[in-house]
Structure 1
Amino acid sequence: MRLRRADGPVHLLRAYLIRGFSNGNNTYRDGLKLNGLANTSDTAFIERVEVLKGPAAMLYGRIQPGGMVNFVTKRPQEEAAYSMQEQFGSWGLSRTTIDATGPLDKEKTLLYRVIGVYDRADDFIDFRHRDNGSVLARLAWRPIEQFEANLSFQYDHLQTANRVSYGQMVPALAQSFAVPGFVGRPAGLPRNWTQLDPKWYDEFPDVMEHILVAADWTYRFDNQWSVTNRFHYNHADEMQYYLLSRGYNLTTGQMNRKLIWSCGYSDMYYLNLYVNGEVETGPLKHKLLFGFDYLWYHQVYKDDNPPGTPPAGFPLQPIPALNVWAPNYSGIDYYSLHGFIGQGSGNLLSRSNQINFGYYVQDDISYEDFIHFLIGGRYDAAFDRGTEIFGATQSAAGAQCYPFCDGHYNPSWKGNRTERKISPNGGLLVKLNESFSIYASYSESFSNSNAAAQSADATPFKPQEGQQFEVGAKASLFDGRMTGSIAAFDIYLSNILTPDPRFPNSSFQIAAGKVRNRGVELDVAGQITNNISIIGSYTNSDAIVLKSNITGTGAILGKRWPGIPRHAGNLWVKYDTASGGKEGFTFGGGFYANGERQGNTTNSWQLPAYVRFDAMVGYRFVLQNVPIEAQLNVMNIADTKYLESSDGALNAAYGAPRTFVGSLKVKF
């Protein structure tokens, strides 16, 4: 499994790779789905990160076949506790976190927790900044032992210059089969290089205002049966201004650039209700789960996304080309750009709407706790009103409402028909003894809707569907202090989207037909001794395109899927001189390793393999009855220059150089 760890004090905005496939920028927060603009949660709010794979993950809804990521947020505590943490580090990092929790009454039936974060920093990429503030407030009510209810409110104000995925676009040099031995690689530019401009943050900062209101309650009928209901409402307002590549000339080094801007808002309601309990039928025990969930998501955009070459009669934006080898950051006519945006500010470009009803059931049948047989599934009824285009029909020959919309309704299509899908899953686990077990499982998925994606001919995409086969073994070692597992998986994903290789520097996508990822995965975590703990994983993957209708220079049949290395692994080891004690030192170290990855679907350029080493040292002590924790983290301690990711088309982005983050935390 590959899951990027949030090493830095940032909001979790990225998509995650689980068994080779992206989760599509969809994650879960306390078991409830987040997607689109509202996919945000500060690391200060997170208690732990859960990664669910196989049949257990499929019950949560429309997800990728590899699995899902669920962020479990911090809950109120019965004992009063207060803390303040200050973090500082490379590129002017300054981050303050305040956390307060405790009871509001003597009986401890009403508990609270409030966490506030202010985070600002520059970046290793030139001209990038962030200035973020977030707060989480939570109440828990426990009037009787059988009942508990929670209410939470989260507010985020996020301000950056070109979000993470577009902060740096290092152009790729495609493989030339006419030159023997030439392998396609990204251009060897400095790590701080960017297509951005020094004044971009001042003139066009990305600003998001995000509000989340969540509630849940649980009633336990007895020790065996309970009912739980969860709900949240998400709202996000966002202004995005991206300065992106319009194309790169390999001979001259000139990169044409363009402004993509959007003003959008989204609203999302998500609800689930489930009942679980236990019954016995003769020698068999059943753990039953019955549930229902509902999602309603609506998004509206005002924006402009010009193509690589504007249609006849439309002028170029007033943004000069940039020589990537000798960049001269000047000459942008910001006055004209503001006027350009102002002309289209009152015009609606697109809107989309998703509605999904899901019903699920599961029965975990066990015999003498020796054999477990799991059977279950979901039924989904989903309507996806995809991106309705206003003002211009989206096509390869034209532009997506370029240079701005005229306000007239002219939808290219009105969305997919209602899709109905039954997704079964099942598994068998046999305990060989108290420490070792073997298992096999099968699951199907009905995941990303693809409704908002853009095709060159305005044809709607069908939803993604997947199948996963898995066999493996699990072990519990050192009296349960450590767990280990090995799994062999075979995943098939249909209708997965990727940038259209026929139209570079555009937002058009294609459905890849069918992609298979076959591999082996090893995981280990736990305590070797009272002082030493480890966590690590290794994955061997073989991800290729099995079916595709694209022919010619853009053909992808038989190609490796981009971004997935054949070999990937990580290991982290921590030593605590006084585990569980109030005073002591902590030392940690580890590495992340990725093999060569394809940069695009045609496999014409690659991201080289790399190994990155991290380390930390911490010291905790008590000063006048006040616990204090000091820590220093160093990421990429060897200052390895490596390329972290690609956009699946023509550009790559560097991983961060050596980064220092120090912190001082005081508990009251």
Structure 2
Amino acid sequence: MSIGKTQLKVFTSKGFTYTLAVHLLIACQSLSMIPALAQDGIGAGSEPRQFMFNIPSQPLSSALHSFADTTDWQVSIPSEIAADMSSPGVTGSLTPEQGLKSLLVGTGLTYRFVGPKIVTLKRDSSGAVVPGLVGAGAAGAAAASGNGATDTAPSNAQKPVKVPEILVKDIRERESDPKSYVAEEANTAMRTDTPIRDSPQSIQVVTRKVIEEQKAIRLDDALQNISGISTFSQSADVNDAWFIRGFAIGNNNMFRNGLFDLFSAQLASDTYNVQRLEVLKGPASVLYGLGDPGGIINIVTRKPLPDAAYSANVTLGNYNLYRSELDATGPLNASKTLLYRLTVVGQKALSFVDFANRDAVGVTPSITWIMGSRTTLTVDGEYFKRWTQRIPGLPSEGTVLPNINGDIPRNRFTGMGNFGRNDRTVYRVGYDLSHQFNNNWSIRNMYRYSILQSDQINGGILALEPDQRTVSRFWGSGPGETSISRQHLHSMVTNIVGRFRLLQMDHTLLTGVELREVRQNPIQITTRTGPSLNLDLYNPDYGINPFSAPISAVRLFETEQKLVGVYLQDQIALLPNLKLVGGVRFDYVHQFQRAGTVAANPPEQTSDDTGVSPRLGLVYQPIEPVSLYTSWTRGFLPNSPGSFNPTGELFKPERSTQYEVGIRTFFFQNRLSLGLAWYHLTRENLVTPDPDPARAAQGFAVQTGEQRSQGIELDVTASLADGWNVIASYAYTDAEVTKDNDPTLVNRRLGMIPYNKATLWSTYHFQEGSLKGFGLGGGVIGYTGRNVWIFDPQVNVPGYVIVNAALYYNRDLEPNNWLKAKQINVAVNFRNLLDQRYVGYADNSLTGYFYGDPRTVLATVGLRF
């Protein structure tokens, strides 16, 4: 046998070396290859042993080394091929051959057996294959089933489709999220395919599995599972709102598939099309631009899959809830280069608050086109509409404080009855285009155009009268009896990612550009007040026509914001177990505003702000399952051009600074994930009223405010055994005012931030015996007491604990059943099982109190095809 001169790199369970002797080994082993392969379980009719793989994305050489340690196989590859090549990694229980295929996805390599447990690698012109994304024919079927790989394919077989590495990673997440509570990767933290364990900033993920088992219809329900997040929306409220690490996050902190999404929080987003929720805590300006300092929420939507799958479910609940969801995905052609997904939801429901309906409808189509061996394009859109009313608050007397007339009923509505409405519709359309130049360099361009149309006519309460039963109210509408407004959003991001080796260190370089434009069309709001609008809380009359009240003011609103951001980030492997992250972003923000009473003819106000937002982080892994990290990051948020001071100068942008240290672990083959973090977060340049009362009365302000939040957070997700899943969290948050013009406010706690919040949820599905198919779940959510806000009067909202539970029945159906279905799923979810009466949120000390939902029962029947 001719050995030749090609130098090989050999990977064994003892490590790897450069050697020529492997050719002699190959020559000897090849004489008895066939019977040996059969004895090792590689061949027709055998059942190969499975191994638990946990190999993250990394250079191919180190990935093959880990593979050899796990399987005791020997893998040889020419050294010039192994250099500067990366592997997407592999996770899960697989045969060695399946694991090797996953390691080679996107590398353009194939393998050939030369002996028992001995393979050689070589370049393959047929491309990388991901299970399910193969062409028709014998070669495709063999690749998908894991029954072998050879250098040649039958002449009548269609070549497999080569799938770009970016899509391979995305599909792996899409298939694993509905199956596990534990997520190992999250693109949000670094905007690259970086395992969570390598991120130097706290990030938590709520997977589709959690959303489905908790029957979390709204984002609010799902985000309760994450430490440091305080949620407070009622199920019928039209807006979403949260606190993260002590600070309110607004519309600037919502993203969808990595693109800025102003309208998610304004529409009370539904989870029917949510694949997962990724929450990055702390200032995120280094990659995402302007925003509040608590963190960002990135909604990852459901995308097409290569294998056909269909599901439908119907949910019935108290308060006359009727809800149905449909989901269909699969290929549109035989070669599986065109994939589609269509998700639909329809809901009609009342709520525990009178006049506040919860009707909604949504449709989301999505198509992925594998344009070539290195290019993919996904185009998607969405139509979602919600019919409801804004729920005004209730007075403190009768909710958290005594009232001489007794407690205010939980169902009391303080709006104008059937005269009001708050209907909102969002339209979205966009694309995601990715291209790999080679195995190390790629580019991704994403764009979305969104429109939010709001039809709002509503009112609210102004004050509680001395009799403690009558409230004065206001009424707001547009010209006549309509108030339709439209907002437009253009959002585009372009990222270039490169992996290379420099100065004996591996680098992952990210550079990107973000463009966005937000425009609010001009709208007028007419406000009416007067005694005729008064309401008796204990004997309400909703028949009063609010348009009969006199007009008190007519206000005009028109805004526009344009942003350009450029960022650069480098992830450097100083040592195999020591990684440094450095990044910086430059933002330019232009704002325009006209706001004020029409009679005063409000002037046009503009501002131009710039900001530089850096981040430094370090991750150290003393052992592979444990990551210790620390980071320093800065945030940036321009003030409104409508804020002004006596000098006429514009205010500087708000700045925030966070220091964080933490530990992150993945044990038991990544079935248990634990994150523990301590942080210190400061928010500076807050605008506060002018210390001169006369100037403060004219609307003047000064920029001397500062607030600080610090605390400890713990998050645990686990799939401890087959059928047993757990998600739990705890947060201690100390948030207070540290500087203010009013010295009485210093050291006061920030509003609605509890010192302690804890959650626990666990489910178990029986795997065998007479109870096989049945399951149960349960958990608790607990908040300690909170002060309403920093101003007087100081009122405390009592803490509370609510108990949730669920029952499940899942059964695989016999083939050829009359429904043609594969599985039936039945679930009954109980929220606030003990019907705890509590106030979930308050936005001021006098009239802004909101009850939490009472006991709620949801019964769901679903079919999977």
TM-score w.r.t. length of structure 1: 0.85
Q: Which residue does 1:643 correspond to in 2?
A: 839
| CA shift in 2, pair 1:38/1:323, >3 Å | closer
Q: Which residue does 1:111 correspond to in 2?
A: 339
| CA shift in 2, pair 1:74/1:481, >3 Å | same
| CA shift in 2, pair 1:624/1:454, >3 Å | farther
Q: How does 1:319-330 map to 2 (within 5 A)?
A: 319-324=532-537, 326-330=538-542
Instruction: Give the distance between the partners of 1:556 and 1:187, measured in 2 at CA.
Output: 33
Q: Which residue does 1:286 correspond to in 2?
A: 507
Instruction: Give the distance between the partners of 2:403 and 2:502, measured in 1 at CA.
Output: 62
Q: Deviations over 1:166-223 (max 9, x none)?
A: x1412125999xxxxx9999994222122134x42xx332222221111111001222
Q: Which residue does 2:475 correspond to in 1?
A: 259
| CA shift in 2, pair 1:316/1:532, >3 Å | closer
- The answer to whether 1:238 aligns with 2:454 is yes
Contact 1:131–1:158 (CA under 8 A) maintained in structure 2? yes
Displacement, 1:96?
1.2
Q: Tell me which amino acid in the other structure corresponds to 1:597.
A: R
Q: Which residue does 2:602 correspond to in 1?
A: 411
Tell me which moved more, 442-451 or 353-362. Answer: 442-451
Structure with more of its chain in helix, by fraction:
2
Q: Which residue does 1:381 correspond to in 2?
A: 588
- The answer to whether 1:586 aligns with 2:780 is no
Displacement, 1:260?
2.4
Instruction: Give the distance between the partners of 2:726 and 2:279, measured in 1 at CA.
Output: 17
Q: Tell me which amino acid in the other structure corresponds to 2:370.
A: R
Aligned match of 1:269 in 490, 510, 524?
490
| CA shift in 2, pair 1:639/1:225, >3 Å | same
Contact 1:283–1:368 (CA under 8 A) maintained in structure 2? no
Q: Tell me which amino acid in the other structure corresponds to 2:791.
A: T
Contact 2:707–2:737 (CA under 8 A) maintained in structure 1? yes
Instruction: Give the distance between the partners of 2:713 and 2:762, measured in 1 at CA.
Output: 19
Aligned match of 1:18 in 230, 235, 244?
244
Q: Which residue does 2:121 correspond to in 1?
A: none
Aligned match of 1:9 in 205, 217, 229?
217
Q: Which residue does 2:395 correspond to in 1?
A: 171
Tell me which moved more, 103-112 or 15-24. Answer: 15-24
Q: Tell me which amino acid in the other structure corresponds to 2:630.
A: A
Displacement, 1:660?
0.4
Q: Which residue does 2:576 correspond to in 1?
A: 369
Q: Tell me which amino acid in the other structure corresponds to 2:797.
A: L
Displacement, 1:531?
3.0
Instruction: Give the distance between the partners of 1:431 and 1:549, measured in 2 at CA.
Output: 46
| CA shift in 2, pair 1:608/1:20, >3 Å | same
Contact 2:382–2:429 (CA under 8 A) maintained in structure 1? yes
Displacement, 1:578?
2.6
Q: Which residue does 1:474 correspond to in 2?
A: 664
| CA shift in 2, pair 1:655/1:460, >3 Å | farther
Displacement, 1:247?
1.2
Tell me which moved more, 98-107 or 461-470. Answer: 461-470
Displacement, 1:33?
0.8
- The answer to whether 1:336 aligns with 2:548 is yes
Q: Deviations over 1:558-604 (max 9, x none)?
A: 2110011011111111112139xx96222111111111111122261
Aligned with 1:117: secondary structure?
Answer: strand
Q: Which residue does 2:464 correspond to in 1?
A: 248
Q: Deviations over 1:377-430 (max 9, x none)?
A: 11111112134336144xxxxxxxxxxxxxxxx224513x21111011111111
| CA shift in 2, pair 1:613/1:173, >3 Å | same
Instruction: Give the distance between the partners of 2:378 and 2:411, measured in 1 at CA.
Output: 45
Alignment length (residue pairs): 617
Q: Which residue does 1:559 correspond to in 2?
A: 748
Instruction: Give the distance between the partners of 1:283 and 1:55, measured in 2 at CA.
Output: 32
Instruction: Give the distance between the partners of 1:478 and 1:636, measured in 2 at CA.
Output: 33
Q: Deviations over 1:420-477 (max 9, x none)?
A: 1101111111111112222110100113654578999999765432111111112222
Aligned with 2:413: secondary structure?
Answer: coil
Q: How does 1:111-190 map to 2 (within 5 A)?
A: 111-162=339-390, 167-173=391-397, 188-190=407-409
- The answer to whether 1:536 aligns with 2:733 is no
Q: Tell me which amino acid in the other structure corresponds to 2:854.
A: P
Instruction: Give the distance between the partners of 1:23 and 1:189, measured in 2 at CA.
Output: 30
Q: Which residue does 2:271 correspond to in 1?
A: 43
Displacement, 1:356?
0.7
Q: Tell me which amino acid in the other structure corresponds to 2:637.
A: S
Instruction: Give the distance between the partners of 1:419 and 1:612, measured in 2 at CA.
Output: 45
Tell me which moved more, 478-487 or 653-662. Answer: 478-487
Instruction: Give the distance between the partners of 1:192 and 1:479, measured in 2 at CA.
Output: 49
Aligned with 1:59: secondary structure?
Answer: helix
Q: Which residue does 1:445 correspond to in 2?
A: 635
Q: Tell me which amino acid in the other structure corresponds to 1:9.
A: I
Q: Tell me which amino acid in the other structure corresponds to 2:413.
A: T
Aligned match of 2:813 in 623, 627, 631?
623
Contact 1:54–1:441 (CA under 8 A) maintained in structure 2? no
Instruction: Give the distance between the partners of 2:748 and 2:358, measured in 1 at CA.
Output: 38
Aligned match of 2:829 in 619, 633, 652?
633
Displacement, 1:520?
0.8
Q: How does 1:395-434 map to 2 (within 5 A)?
A: 410-412=601-603, 414-415=605-606, 417-434=607-624
| CA shift in 2, pair 1:478/1:187, >3 Å | farther
Displacement, 1:37?
7.7
- The answer to whether 1:661 aligns with 2:838 is no
Aligned match of 1:64 in 287, 292, 295?
292
Instruction: Give the distance between the partners of 1:187 and 1:104, measured in 2 at CA.
Output: 63
- The answer to whether 1:352 aligns with 2:559 is yes
Identity %: 28
Aligned with 2:396: secondary structure?
Answer: strand
Tell me which moved more, 445-454 or 51-60. Answer: 445-454
Contact 2:558–2:595 (CA under 8 A) maintained in structure 1? yes
Q: Deviations over 1:481-501 (max 9, x none)?
A: 111121110111135579999
Q: Which residue does 1:490 correspond to in 2?
A: 680
Contact 2:283–2:291 (CA under 8 A) maintained in structure 1? no
Contact 1:175–1:183 (CA under 8 A) maintained in structure 2? yes
Q: Deviations over 1:304-347 (max 9, x none)?
A: 364xxxxxxxx8347431233x232245125636x979x97xxx
Contact 1:248–1:255 (CA under 8 A) maintained in structure 2? yes
Q: How does 1:191-202 map to 2 (within 5 A)?
A: 191-197=410-416, 199-200=417-418
Aligned with 1:44: secondary structure?
Answer: coil
| CA shift in 2, pair 1:47/1:184, >3 Å | farther
Contact 2:371–2:377 (CA under 8 A) maintained in structure 1? no
- The answer to whether 1:204 aligns with 2:420 is yes
Structure with more of its chain in strand, by fraction:
1
Contact 1:270–1:294 (CA under 8 A) maintained in structure 2? yes
Q: CA RMSD in A?
A: 3.5
Q: Tell me which amino acid in the other structure corresponds to 2:624.
A: E
Q: Tell me which amino acid in the other structure corresponds to 2:729.
A: S
Unaligned runs of 5+ in 2: 1-201, 221-238, 478-482, 816-820
Contact 1:490–1:518 (CA under 8 A) maintained in structure 2? yes
Instruction: Give the distance between the partners of 2:772 and 2:707, measured in 1 at CA.
Output: 52
Instruction: Give the distance between the partners of 2:475 and 2:646, measured in 1 at CA.
Output: 20
| CA shift in 2, pair 1:556/1:219, >3 Å | same
Displacement, 1:251?
4.4
Aligned with 1:637: secondary structure?
Answer: coil
Instruction: Give the distance between the partners of 1:562 and 1:456, measured in 2 at CA.
Output: 29
